[in-house]
A = this chain, B = another copy of it.
Amino acid sequence: MEAMRRIPDATVDRLPVYLRVLDDLTASRSTTVSSEQLADLAGMNAAKVRKDLSYLGSYGVRGVGYDVDYLRFEITSQLGLGQQSGVAIVGLGNLGRALANHAGLTVRGFPVTALLDTDARKVGTSVSGVTISHLDALSPDDGIAIGIITTPPGVAQDVADRLVAAGVRAILNFAPIVLTVPEHVALRSVDVTLELQVLSFYASHQGSGTAAAHGS
């Protein structure tokens, strides 16, 4: 890969948004896109788009723009989306089930290959064709790349530790608690209450403008 410069975290956050827009452009048979168009479709400004894409070593051609296919290829490579990454969902409450039923995950390269819980009434039952296993059965042999934690907060750190021990390199945490993971494990947290509190800030400071989309 050409771009070995460290890509800023904020840029990484936006790459999937660009990818989604580029997918839509491909579907509508567009072969080139200007930074202005891309910015408009992604809900950002054109200067930021150009800066972000420059970290990939991609510079649009003046008057022509970017090649849609090539840009998709570059972003897909950078995001490591070349191969499928098996996902385990731990905690099959309402949210866990909602995610297990989320057909879009497989389509986007994140097939849910394991469902884990500790509730004896749930173990052995299936969601979307995947049987729920006991958390104790989790093993490095499962080849899970990403773990999604949808457990109550009190057990989330223990679950994270077990996922790390099983070789998981990335964790998406929905439990409302700050988790600690080793340096080599990537961690993101989604907390609906935090999102609502941030929205509350902007709603109560009218005229402060629109909050950043996509949590970035």
Among A29-37, A64-72, A80-88, A113-121, which stretch is in contact with chain B?
A: A80-88
Given contacts A172-B192, A215-B216, contact A210 B183 (CB under 8 A): yes
Q: Is the CB of A13 within 8 A of B81?
A: no
- With A16-B198, A183-B210, A211-B186 known as contacts, the answer to whether A205 contacts B169 (CB < 8 A) is no
Contact of A198 among B13, B41, B202 (CB under 8 A): B13
**Is B192 touching A17 in the complex (CB atoms < 8 A)?**
no
Copies in the complex: 2
Q: Which of B6, B95, B173, B185 contacts A95 (CB 8 A)?
A: B95
Is A165 among interface residues, defined by CB-CB distance under 8 A?
no
User: Whole-angstrom distance from the CB of A199 to the nearest CB of chain B?
Assistant: 4
Chain A residues packing against B (C-beta within 8 Å): 6-7, 9, 12-13, 15-17, 19-21, 41-43, 78-81, 85, 87, 93-95, 97-99, 101-102, 104-105, 108-110, 145-146, 169-173, 176, 178-181, 183-216
